[in-house]
Structures are given as structure tokens and as C-alpha cells.
Amino acid sequence: MDFDRLERNICDNILEAQLKLGYDGRPLSLNYTLSSLCHLLGKNMSAEDMQYALFQFALCTEPALGELSFRKTDTGYCITIPSEGTSFVNEYYDKRGFIGEFINKIRSHCSSAEEVIDIFRKYSDSVSVEEIDSDEFQYLVRFTDGIPDEYFYCISAEEEIDGSIHVTYHRFIREDYEELGF
């Protein structure tokens, strides 16, 4: 079984948390639905089969991420990455690339969603921007060639009481986005 996509997703989520909250050297727990895990592993599985796959995944990733632990939840699994794993991501992942600049722009209370979308265009000529007819999001933005990442970003900009603009986002893998049916 190929675990690369799940490992990359876990590391990307750790990096995203560290960029938003700072690195504190502690373990981090991530909740995944069973369907998300199946998407990331490229195979439909029962909860029991997934538990076995996660143990195999933990063995493969232990040199970089440390000893992962898993806990079944109502909808999937909670994966806990020990401090060795969060330290690995902090040390070896580039915080200055697209995701770092993207999160810094989101945090800066920019003047429009277009400012955030321009960050995508800075990193690639292969950017798709679609307006979404949804109460939750205004735009779907993604890199059509998957470089620098494969995620689907749902972006919304709302005016605050003081007139400033607050931009928010949610990031999905393609299959989860399609399953949600925005």
C-alpha cells in the first residue's frame, strides 16, 4: 500500500498548524474521517481494515514522525503525532513557500479575497479560480497541475463591523471537496 499521500497530508496539516499557532514542540492530534483516510490511501476499507493499514503506516513513517498513535472516533480515526514528528516538520519543511505566504496574508486582514488569490498566481501560472454558489464560501481556488500543492482552497471574504475585510479559508483534498458537494 502506498502511504505517501497520507504522510504528505499529515505533514502539510502539521505545518499549517505551526504556521497559524507557532511551533511549541508538543504532540499534535489530527482527526480524519474514514472516507478521507480511504481517499488518501486510494482504497476503500472498513474501519477494521483501516486500523490495520494505519498500524502499517505508523511502522513506515516512524523514522521521520516518531511513534504515531491512533484512536477510533465516531466517524474515523484520531492520529496523534508525537513531538518527534512535529519537530521533524518544523525542522525540514519550508515555511517560506506558498503556504507560509498564504497564511501570513490571511492573518494580515487584507483588503480583498483577490489579494489572497494573487498569492496563488505568484506561485503558479496554472491556477483555477471559480466562484462558488454557497453560503459558506465565495471562491474555489486550486493549482490545476498540483504544484505547489494539490489542495482545493475554499475562500470567503467578509466585511467586519469596522469596515475591514476578514478572509477565511478551508482546505480540502479533491475527493473530500467533491464528496461535500459544494
Q: Residue 20: its pLDDT value, please?
A: 94
Beta carbons of 39 and 99 less than 8 angstroms apart:
no
Give pLDDT tens digits for 103-159. 999 988 778 899 999 999 999 999 999 999 888 899 999 999 999 999 999 999 988
H-state helical runs in the chain: 4-21, 34-41, 47-65, 83-92, 98-107, 113-123, 174-180
Q: What does the alpha-carbon distance between residue 10 and residue 36 come to, in Å, rounded to a whole number?
A: 12
Q: Which of these, 126, 99, 83, 111, lies nearest to 16 by C-alpha position?
A: 99
Pull the grid cell for residue 55: 498500524
Q: Residue 109: its pLDDT value, please?
A: 72
Q: What is the rounded average pLDDT of the residues 36-47?
A: 97
pLDDT > 80? residue 182:
no
pLDDT > 90? residue 100:
yes
Prediction pTM value: 0.93
Q: What is the rounded average pLDDT of the residues 155-166?
A: 84
The two counts, helices (H) then strands (E), for the chain are 7, 7
Q: What is the rounded average pLDDT of the residues 38-57?
A: 97
Q: What does the domain layout of the chain look like in residue ranges?
A: 4-92, 98-180
